[in-house]
Amino acid sequence: MSVSTHTRRDQIWIGAGLYTYLGITLAVPLLVIFLWTIYDPAVGWFPPDIVPSSYSVSAWREVLADRQIIPSGVLSIIIAVIVTTATGILAFPTAWALAQFPFRLKRAVEVFVLAPLIVPGIVVAQGGRVGLRDQVAPQAIHDDGDDAAGGAGSVDGAHASVPLRAKWKMS
C-alpha cells in the first residue's frame, strides 16, 4: 500500500461517505427514473405509492417497436465519433503550435480558441442559424444550450431525424 495522509480506518469512513453520497444523488434518482419506464400506464402511479403498484413493459415495447429508434441511435453514435475525430484533428495542430512556438498575439489566439467555451452556447446556436432553415434551429438550441456531453447528447433527441440532421449541419 502506498503512503497516505489518512489512516486505513479513516479511509474506510471516507469511502463509506463517498458511496452514500453517490447512492443518494445518483443511484436513487436513476432507479426512480427507471421505475417510471416500467410502471403500468393503465393503472397509473399515484401518491402515496412509493413504488408502482403494477408494472408493464409497454413503454419499452413502444420505443423498441419504433423503426426510427435504432437507426437514429446509430446515427447519433456515428455523429459523435465524427465530431470527436474532427475536433481532435482540428485541435491538435493548434494546441501543438501554441505549446511549441512563442509568438506575438499568442494570448489573443488562446482567448479566441477558448472563446466558444466563454460565449454561452445559446448565443453560438443563434449565430449558427445563419444558413440554417428556421425549423431546424430550435433543436440546435436545445442541444447546444444544455448539453455538456456534446455530440453524444443528441441520443435524447433521436426520436426525429430532423434534429439529427440539424446537429449534423451545426457540427
Partner 1 sequence: MSEGRVKLSVLLLCLAPGGGFLLLLFGLPLVRVLIGSFTDASGAFPTLSTWQRLLTTPVYLDGLWYSLWLGLAPTIVSLLISLPLSALMQANETTQKLFGALYRIPLVVPGIVAGFIVLVLLDRGGTVSRLLAPFGLSLPRLVRDPWGLGAIIASSWKNIPFMTLIIAGSMAAINKDVLLAARTLGASRLTILWRIQLPLAKPGVTAAVLLTFIGSLGSFVIPSLLGPSYPLPLSVHMYMEGFQKGNWPMVYAMGTLLSVCAIGVLLAYYAVIGRIGRTPGGGRQRGGTA
- The residues in 5-44 that bind partner 1, with binding defined as CB under 8 A, are 5-6, 10-12, 14-15, 17-19, 21-22, 25-26, 28-30, 32-33, 36
Residue 123 binds partner 1 (CB under 8 A) = yes
Smallest CA-to-CA distance from 95 within 84, 80, 106 is with 106
| Cβ–Cβ < 8 Å for 139, 150 | no
CA distance 168 to 86: 12
Q: Which is nearer to partner 1, 15 or 71 (CB)?
A: 15
Residue 60 binds partner 1 (CB under 8 A) = no
CA distance 60 to 106: 53
Residue span 66-105 as binding mask against partner 1, x where in contact by CB under 8 A, dash where not:
-----------------------xxx-xx-xx--xx-x--
How far apart are CB 49 and partner 1 at their closest, in Å? Answer: 7
